[in-house]
Structure 1
Amino acid sequence: MDIPGAALPVVGAARDMERLAHLIDAAGWRIDGITVTLDSHHSVGIERPGMWRTGDGGEVAPFTTIRACDVRNGKFLPREAGDLPRVLSYLDALEAGGRYSLMVWPPHCEIGTWGHNIQEDVRAAYNRWERAKLQPVHKVFKGMNAWTEHYSALQPEVPDVQDPLTQRNDSLIARLDQADTVLIAGEASSHCVKATTEHLASHLPSGRASKIVLLQDCMSPVAGFEEQARQFLATMQAMGATVTTSQEWLRS
């Protein structure tokens, strides 16, 4: 969020969430279900600085990209030498997927901290929706496995065969596919929203990406990744999804 002291600030996020909360209040009677995803991390993990060191023993700064070749040539290494085979196996699988290289992120959304919580305006709005509908919001936790990056709420970049929570969430996909319209909002449009929407559009049993509506005024990119967000929205639009604003959708 774009709040002083945030570990991973997203400029515009606070206003995005205010607009989303307004939409929930204004159109709650039209909304049959709400799913909230929570980035849920530990203080250490394969994408956290504490996991890594430089070849000469130095610290690895956030927003550093680490590739398998960097590890093989000793530019970056896991702090625990015994983790080297697992790290290389992960990086090879990640890069073979063709979506991402490993990005070292500042620690954020650590379970139990305020950054892990749902933004207050949105929480208050969906609480009002819950009381009106007499049904709870569906909450999905993702990112708790320290050995894989989990941008998407539907599956991590590299599933861990020993961890069921890292397998594709087909039950959630099927649940969302029952809706006539799937409104998507959140942070960040360059990463978590992007990855989740891509996986949803690719695996909807109906194949109807046209039911996806992206509220572009209720999402913002991580600073420096604006082009990645722009390309994502353009790609989704080309697949048949609708890109609009909360106000335009309310007027419709």
Structure 2
Amino acid sequence: MVAATDLPIPNFFDADKVDQVWRVPYQERAAQARQWAQQYQIPPASEDRQRTILLLIDVQNTFCLPDFELFVHGAVADNQRLCRFIYTHLAQISEIIVTLDTHTASQIFHPLFWVNPAGEHPLPLTTITLQEVESGYWQPNPHLLPSLPLADLESLQAYARYYVAQLAAKGKFPLTIWPYHSMLGGIGHALVSAVEEACFFHTVARQQQTRIELKGSHPLTENYSVLRPEVSHDPQGRPLMPLNTALIEHLLAGDRLIIAGQAKSHCVAWTVADLLSEIQQRDPQLAQRVYLLEDCMSPVVVPGVVDFSETADATFAGFAAAGMHRITTTTTTPLNL
């Protein structure tokens, strides 16, 4: 039996195709995965004495491919390393969970939601401030009201003011208008083909279904974290979206949790922060079960516009101070993988 850390990379994996969209040949890969498990005596994941969960956050075309809407510089190389990591540690990864950022056009962080007195929508990467909303410079688009869960225009306008104020009060990122991205039903919403292929191969070889978690579909709140929305309640105190308790319980029930994905400064950071908050309420020692695979994630950097590199590094230093492990694909010794 080949040692788990010595598992080879299947010859069908082509690192040069990680930045492309293509159809995974499922039947062929399934046959190869069954043969792979037999050849290397890889047991079903249900027999693992220690359960290691790999959480992949938003490894989607919209963030990871150069020609797509919110390409994170560094994501292609990140995913090349990620695919190799999955293949070489196939026998140790008990389960893969993927999150999918899931959006429509008429959401609060997309241009269509907002309009100024001239009838113009904000440009992508515009920051909308509370002062601009209160002064009436940016107002919610009244034509969207029939597709939103609000009764009338007055309620919509009140909610817009409330939402921007809540972000500031909670110390969240200010409301950024993003390019249309991760559009449900579109190519950008899909997993990167090479990562999808690796997850499918793992599913068949380990006989453990990849778990898919959708996030971000509510039109009235952002969802950087898969565990909770940026604003969780409306002005009347009614919940917009509940805490993802089922996923939290599942993640904390494992023996080890490895986290990778995009972007390090946003959806990864906020997911880890929310998970850490839950851990600290329960048992701070649980933080030692979490491993942050930092060479499989990159921060948002738009040259000349924004650079969240320092913010991400400071945030991850805080995670490490709380007991989480910062690792790379070449320094996985602490995992005993």
TM-score by length of 2: 0.71
Q: For 1:46, which of 105, 108, 112 is the aligned residue? A: 108
Corresponding position: 1:90 with 2:168: no
Corresponding position: 1:200 with 2:275: yes
Query: In the TM superposition, what are the counterparts of 1:52-71 in structure 2 within 5 Å?
Result: 52-71=114-133
**CA distance in structure 2 between the partners assigned to 1:39 and 1:50 by the alignment:** 18
* Structure 2 contact 94–208 (Cα < 8 Å) conserved: no
Question: Structure 1: any 5+ residue segments left out of the alignment?
Answer: none
Query: In the TM superposition, what are the counterparts of 1:49-128 in structure 2 within 5 Å?
Result: 49-80=111-142, 82=153, 83-128=156-201
Query: How far off is 1:196 after superposition?
Result: 0.4
**CA distance in structure 1 between the partners assigned to 2:168 and 2:312 by the alignment:** 20
Match of 2:244 in 1: 169
Match of 2:317 in 1: 234
Query: How far off is 1:103 after superposition?
Result: 1.0
Corresponding position: 1:188 with 2:250: no
2:124 maps to amino acid: P
Match of 2:207 in 1: 134
* Structure 2 contact 64–192 (Cα < 8 Å) conserved: no
**CA distance in structure 1 between the partners assigned to 2:188 and 2:238 by the alignment:** 25
Distance change >3 Å, CA 129–CA 165, structure 1 → 2: farther
Distance change >3 Å, CA 144–CA 84, structure 1 → 2: same
Q: Which moved more, 1:192-201 or 1:156-165?
A: 156-165
Distance change >3 Å, CA 200–CA 16, structure 1 → 2: same
Aligned length: 252
**CA distance in structure 2 between the partners assigned to 1:44 and 1:250 by the alignment:** 46
Corresponding position: 1:10 with 2:72: yes
Q: Note the alpha carbon deviations across 1:160-212, whole angstroms, 9 max, x for none.
A: 46997821111111111111211000000010000000001111344321211
Query: How far off is 1:237 after superposition?
Result: 1.0
Question: Structure 2: any 5+ residue segments left out of the alignment?
Answer: 1-62, 144-152, 302-306
Higher-Rg member (1/2) = 2
Give the percent of matched residue pairs that are identical in Structure 1 and Structure 2: 34
* Structure 2 contact 225–268 (Cα < 8 Å) conserved: yes
* Structure 1 contact 27–250 (Cα < 8 Å) conserved: no
Distance change >3 Å, CA 106–CA 130, structure 1 → 2: same
* Structure 2 contact 216–224 (Cα < 8 Å) conserved: yes
**CA distance in structure 2 between the partners assigned to 1:117 and 1:12 by the alignment:** 19
